[in-house]
Structure 1
C-alpha cells in the first residue's frame, strides 16, 4: 500500500505540471513544497520581471512599477495556491522533503510513500566566488523585487537573459545601469550586436569581455575591480550570473541518484533518474532553464511512466527561448555558427524590409531561418527547418512558427505557402522562408557560414 500514486517534491512550474498531469491521468497526487506553490516563475522570475519590463516601457514611476509587480504576482499566485490545488484533488504538504528510498519520503517527522516520485525542487541564484563579494550587500533575482526605492545607480553582474532584461527595465526607470559580462546572451553575433545597441540607447553601460576580480564597499557604494584594470561603482549590486540546483538535504546520495559535475540531477529523455521509480523535472535537471521547458518536463515525468509504447520524451532542440528585452530576441534550434561548413542554407530578412516594423516605426532586427536537406529529398520544398533567430519587437511571438515547423518536420516551403495577414509581424517569416523556394525581394537562401547581409 502507498499513500499516493505520484509524489511531487517542489511546487514550482515543473512540480505543478507533474501534479496536474497525474490528476488528469486519474492518479492520486501529493505535492510537497517548502514555499508557496508557483515557485520562482511566479514570485521571482517570469511574472515579476515581465511585469516590470512592461511597466518601465510605459514610463511608470519606480514605486508605481513595483506596486504593479506585487499586484500581478499576487493575482497569479492566487490561481495556484494551496486551496486552488486542493480543488483539483492535489494534496499539498508543506515542509522540506528528504528521500528515504525509491518509494518513501520524509517531511519533518512524517513519512510518506508513493508509487512514483518526481523531483522538481528547481534552482537558486548562484553567487560567484569573487573575493570580497560575500561581504557586500547584494541583490539577486530572489530579492531585487523587494526594493521600495530606486537606487541612483545599479551594476548588474551577469549579462544573460535575466541580467539584460532587468538592466533595461531599471535603465528605463531612471536608474544608471552598468552591465558586466563576458558576452551577451544571444548566440547569433548579429543578434548580440542589435541587443548591445538597444541597451546602449537606453543608457545602459556595457562592460563586455571582462570579469570582476574583487568586490568591496567604499562608503555606501559597491566598488568592483575588473580584470581589465577598470573599476565600477554603484549604489546597489545585482548578481545574475546563473543558477545552481536546489538539492540541499534532499538525500540524493543516500539512494544513489546520480548528478552531473554541477550537481544537476541526471535524467534520460523520459525524465527518469538513475533510481527506478524516481523522476526529475525542471531546473533541477539543468536541461532547459526556462519555465515552458520545466512545464513540459513535469508532464513527461508523469506521463512517460504510464506508457510502454510511444513514450513521450523531452527534446529541447525544438523549444524556443526568448530574451524579453526591447527588441526581443528569440532563438530555436541551431544557429548559423553551429551549421557553418555543412550543407545547410540560411535565409535572412532585415526588419527594415518588413512593412509591419516600418508601420510601427521600429525596424530594428532581422529574421534568420536555417534549413537543411531532407533524407532522400534533399533541399526539395526548401528542405527542413534546422533553426531560427529573430530579433524584433514581437520576436517572442514570431518564433513559434519555425518552432512548429521543427517539431513537426514540415517542409520549410510550407512557411512560405501559408497565407499570412498583412501587415503582421509574422509576415516576415513567410517572406524569409520564400527565399528557400524561389526568392523574395531579390534575396535567395545562401550557404550557412559567416554572417552576410
Structure 2
C-alpha cells in the first residue's frame, strides 16, 4: 500500500473543496484534493444552472402566451421539449466545462481520484491502495438528493435533480414531492412548458417563505398554474401502466390519488458523509449524523478536521459553500502549521427562489412571537413599475427591532433577486429603516417598493 504525507487533505472537489484547496495552498500548506465523482460542482451539473436554464425556457413560453395585456397578439406557442432540454444540457455542459478547466492548473500530484474514508484522526485511506497522513483534513463531500421511502421502488419513473435534466423529452405529466425552493421552481417551469403538474407537500410553507401573508399569496399564485397540495401526506407510490400512481392524504384527511408519467423527489439533499467512517476520526456527531462544528471557523469538535459546503448541512447554497471553503482552507493550513485559527462572522442569511414572482428570505427568520420587533409591509398589486411590466403580484415584509435596526425580511415579487441584495446589505451593515429611506432610489423602479415597506414600518410600528 502506498503512503502520502501532506499538511491538508481536502475530500471533495466541488465548490467548497476547490475553494478550500486554493485557500490552503495560498496559506503555504502542502494540500491534496481527493475526488471520487465526476466533479464540476453540484450547482453547475445538477443544481442552480440547469434549473435556471429550464426556468428561462418556461419564462419565454409564458411570456409569449401572455402578451394580450400589452395589445400584442401571438397566435400560437409551441414548446419543443427535446429542443428545450438539448439547449439546457449544452449550456449546462459548458458551465461544467468551465469549472473543470479551472482545475487544470492544479498540480497533477495534488489531485487524487478515489473514495476516501478515515482510518483515524490523522489518516485517510483512499481505495485499497493509498494511505494519506495529514495534519488537517477538510470534508467537502457535498450532498445527494433525499428519496423518501414510498418512492424507492419506482425505478426509472422516479426523478431527482441528479437525473431530471437527462430526460430526452418533457413528460406529459409530473408529480413533484416537495414545495420548497427546488420543487416549486421545477413545478412552475414544467407547468409553463405544458406539463400537467401536481405538487404534494406535508408542510404549510412554500418557496422557503414563512411569513403568513406571503405564504398565502404564494400558494394562490403558484396554485393557479398547477395542482398544489400543501398539508398533504404521501402514503404510497407504485408503477401503474406506463406511469405512476400516488396515494396520499389531503389536509382535510381525505384519501386522494394522483396518476402521472413520472415523479420528482424534491424533498431536499443529505450530506455525503456515510462512507467516510467519521467515528474512526473521533468526531462528535449530532443527531443528524453531521459533525459538530464551529460555524465561525468550520473546525469540527474532536479532531483537526474541518467541514464546508453542503456537507455541513447548514446553508447549502453556492456563495456560502465557496466562502466556507475559503475559511476552512485557511484554518486548516493554520492547524497544520500549529497556528491559531481565525473566527469569521457568518454572512447574513440570503436565500432565493427563482420562480415568477421570485421569492427570498434575508437575515433573521420571521418570528411572530418576538417582543422587540416591528414589521413593515407593501403589496405589489399597485406598485408603479410592477404594473407597467404586468408583474404586479406578491409583496414585501421586513422586520426590525424597536430602534428600527433592520433584522431581516421575506419577499415575493418581481426583481426580488435584486431587491434581496439591497436588504441583505442593509441588515449586514446594521442600518435602520430610516437610514435606507434616506438613500436615493430612482423613479420609476421596482426598488421603490423597498421605500414603501420601510416607510410603513416607521409609521405604523406594527408588531411582528
TM-score (normalizing by structure 2): 0.87
Cα distance in 2, alignment partners of residues 87 and 322 from structure 1: 32
Q: Per the alignment, in what secondary structure is the counterpart of residue 11 of structure 1?
A: coil
Q: Per the alignment, in what secondary structure is the counterpart of residue 230 of structure 1?
A: strand
Cα displacement (A) at 1:200: 2.7
Q: Identify the match of residue 43 of structure 2 among 41, 44, 55.
A: 41
Q: Specify the alignment match of 2:304 in structure 1.
A: 277
Q: Specify the alignment match of 2:24 in structure 1.
A: 22
Residue 329 (1) aligns with residue 362 (2): no
Residue 448 (1) aligns with residue 463 (2): yes
Gaps of 5+ in 1: 374-378, 438-443
Q: Specify the alignment match of 2:389 in structure 1.
A: 360
Residue 206 (1) aligns with residue 210 (2): no
Cα distance in 2, alignment partners of residues 236 and 284 from structure 1: 29
Cα distance in 1, alignment partners of residues 370 and 283 from structure 2: 40
Q: Identify the match of residue 397 of structure 1 among 418, 423, 433.
A: 418
8 Å contact from structure 1 (residues 133, 214) kept in 2? no
Cα distance in 2, alignment partners of residues 341 and 247 from structure 1: 36
Residue 264 (1) aligns with residue 283 (2): no
Spell out, residue by residue over 1:161-183, the C-alpha distance to the aligned partner (whole angstroms, 9 max, x if none). 11111111111111100001123
Alpha carbons of structure 1 residues 69 and 24: separation in structure 2 relative to 1, 3 Å? farther
Q: Identify the match of residue 312 of structure 1 among 341, 344, 353.
A: 344
Cα displacement (A) at 1:339: 4.1
8 Å contact from structure 1 (residues 265, 285) kept in 2? yes
Q: Per the alignment, in what secondary structure is the counterpart of residue 158 of structure 2?
A: coil
> Structure 1 stretch 32-41 or stretch 168-177: which is displaced more?
32-41
Q: Per the alignment, in what secondary structure is the counterpart of residue 36 of structure 1?
A: coil
Spell out, residue by residue over 1:221-255, the C-alpha distance to the aligned partner (whole angstroms, 9 max, x if none). 21111123111100111111122221132121111
Cα distance in 2, alignment partners of residues 341 and 267 from structure 1: 28
Q: Identify the match of residue 169 of structure 2 among 135, 149, 153.
A: 149
Q: Per the alignment, in what secondary structure is the counterpart of residue 93 of structure 1?
A: strand
The 5 A counterparts of 1:207-246 are: 207-227=229-249, 228-246=254-272
Q: Per the alignment, in what secondary structure is the counterpart of residue 56 of structure 1?
A: helix
Q: Specify the alignment match of 1:252 in structure 2.
A: 278
Cα displacement (A) at 1:2: 7.2
Cα distance in 2, alignment partners of residues 425 and 31 from structure 1: 45
Q: Per the alignment, in what secondary structure is the counterpart of residue 99 of structure 2?
A: coil
Cα displacement (A) at 1:420: 1.6
Give the aligned length. 429
> Structure 1 stretch 266-275 or stretch 320-329: which is displaced more?
266-275
Q: Specify the alignment match of 1:54 in structure 2.
A: 56
Higher relative contact order (CA 8 A, sep 6+): 2
Q: Per the alignment, in what secondary structure is the counterpart of residue 115 of structure 1?
A: strand
8 Å contact from structure 2 (residues 8, 136) kept in 1? yes
Cα distance in 1, alignment partners of residues 390 and 5 from structure 2: 59
Gaps of 5+ in 2: 62-78
Q: Specify the alignment match of 1:292 in structure 2.
A: 319
TM-score (normalizing by structure 1): 0.89
Residue 415 (1) aligns with residue 436 (2): yes
